[in-house]
A and B are shown apart, each in its own frame.
Chain A
Amino acid sequence: MSFPWAKEYTPTTDLGQWMDKQLPLPRFIYNSVGAGYPAPRNLNYMWNFGSLAGLFLVVQIVTGIILAMHYAANANIAFDSVEHIMRDVNSGWMIRYAHANGASFFFIAIYLHIGRGLFYGSYKAPREMLWLLGVVIYLLAMATAFMGYVLPWGQMSFWGAKVITGLFEAIPLVGKPIQELLLGGFAPDNAALNRFFSLHYLLPFVIAGVVIMHIWALHIPGSNNPTGVDVKGPQDTVPFHPYYTAKDGWTIGLALIFFTALMFFLPNALGHADNYIPANPLSTPAHIVPEWYFWPWYAILRAFTFDFLFIPAKLLGVLAMFSAILVWFFLPWLDKSPVRSGNFRPKFKIFFGILVIDVLILGYCGGAPAEEPFVMISQLAAAYYFAHFLIILPLLSRMEKPEPLPNSITESVTGKPLNTAS
């Protein structure tokens, strides 16, 4: 219950009342996504990507469980078992393509969801815990996607596993033993494949658990909104059902159209052709690149080509890549501005736009080969990325003069003052 005027769940049937006494699950659902959750009346379409991320998580879990029924996690036959899914299993090609492209759609949804939070100050008080849990979900999703990509045991799978576990080698003193511990060997092989399969199966359920906590943490302060102004009365909200269930339903339909279009007409457009070559420990592909959703972080990793004081370049790259995401954990305390929404922060708006372009540039460089001019551009873009969070945001919150905020959500929508008497 986020607001005192939220509609109370009142079961009308005998069964409903009995259920409500024994295990109030219907009440829980009603209060989470039903009429029992009053949401701000002015949410724009940027607020639809949370439900889409949830939808694609479900798609991934369903298709993933099915794929696991046919896949064999053994280095000798993993690649062939994927081909068996593609050629022999009824609708197997469709289920595998749904899983491969569903990962991309999950990340599209989650990136837009994160970007929405960054712009509208959704990470600020009283929603810090909500934001922190969101970052945890993102980190878990990264780990899950990486391990899933290894399973087909193609060239990109193998060398991706080798390169990413090789990052841990950069840790001073204990790096090498840690890498061997992670792989269960000196290079990716059966042991690594088996544990990646096990963890790839486990982690999505951990994600689902954190998602539940994420929604729980959302429902205590209630949703943020495009004005960033707190909800002040019943008129500022509408019941989640039917208003936002219908709105979410509409974008779910839209997303599924794009998703199926990609799945049926361009199923390999986002993949890398090299992963259709079986893993070969003795030959490296010309360009080892991750899937598109990791390109920005990959660019930051590769930007550090120089040693700094006593820290070798390899370690710097690893530290920078992890810091690029870990910095999000500190965001609620780096951005001190009392104004939540970027709509009322003229300078912030400009810098936010630059940050989006910066991340897109990083993404392009991450997908490009590691040669000039991309290395140089990566270095500049990576420097700006960190400057945005560590320098620009803290300074902005002190120097910027925000525009006047509306008195209430209702006033910003209708132009008439909120009638607090009702």
Chain B
Amino acid sequence: MATVETADTAVAEEGGVRRRDFINIAAVSFAGAGAVATVFPLVNQMNPSADVLALSSIEVDISAIETGQAIKTSWRKQPIFIRNLTEAEIAEANAVDAAGLRDPESLADRTTPGKENWLITLGVCTHLGCVPLGAAQGEIKGEFGGYFCPCHGSHYDTAARIRKGPAPTNLVVPEHEFLSDTVVKIG
């Protein structure tokens, strides 16, 4: 075999390690680091893009929602229920001992102080992601007078807490703040 190994590169130094072993490891490490750095943007491109993130907060005018009514709106391509609770519904929610529930939360935990009548939740059943009934006029509200998801029979109460059926947790309350008495910012 014709090789170009000269005496000084082939010579084993202390511990049988050659100069060339170091060069090999250094070169492969350098290439590996480059490959990892290249992979990052190639994977990161699959994360939500700027136009998707731009839709991550909305402002809703709630002045037209009468007591006892609810509206559906859309936030991050998902339905949002905004409900103006009646005194009776608030009382009904507060009458329940939260500690005994599957997902223990009180109505106060789920609303803004001083605006307990405004129940703002994602309209996405926590079981498998269907849209529960109960927000629109005339829809079935389930056994607990809140929301009812007919797909697999999850019943939510007037505070949108899971009370019966397969859903594991209460309807999610998104981050929101009241910019004024009539405008709420979600997200």
Contacts and interface: CB of A to CB of B under 8 A. Distances in A.
Best-surrounded residue of A41, A90, A92 (most CB of chain B within 10 A)? A90
Contacts of B31: 249
A249 B27 contact: yes
B45 A95 contact: yes
A32 to B, nearest CB: 20
B99 interface: no
A73 to B, nearest CB: 18
B44 A90 contact: yes
Contacts of A89: 45, 49-50
B41 A234 contact: no
Nearest to B2: A235
A238 B3 CA distance: 7
Contacts of B27: 249
B42 interface: yes
Contacts of A41: 2
A169 interface: no
B51 A88 contact: yes
A91 B45 contact: yes
B2 A238 contact: yes
A84 interface: yes
Contact of B2 (A62, A87, A90, A234): A234
A94 B45 CA distance: 10
A219 to B, nearest CB: 19
A275 interface: no
A91 B38 CA distance: 11
A236 B41 CA distance: 44
A236 B2 contact: yes
B2 A92 contact: no
22 contacts: A41-B2, A66-B45, A69-B46, A87-B50, A88-B49, A89-B45, A89-B50, A90-B41, A90-B45, A90-B50, A91-B42, A92-B45, A92-B49, A95-B41, A95-B45, A234-B1, A235-B1, A235-B2, A236-B2, A238-B2, A249-B27, A249-B31
Query: Closest 9 A-B residue pairs measured CB to CB?
Result: A91-B41, A88-B50, A88-B49, A88-B51, A235-B2, A89-B49, A90-B44, A90-B45, A91-B45
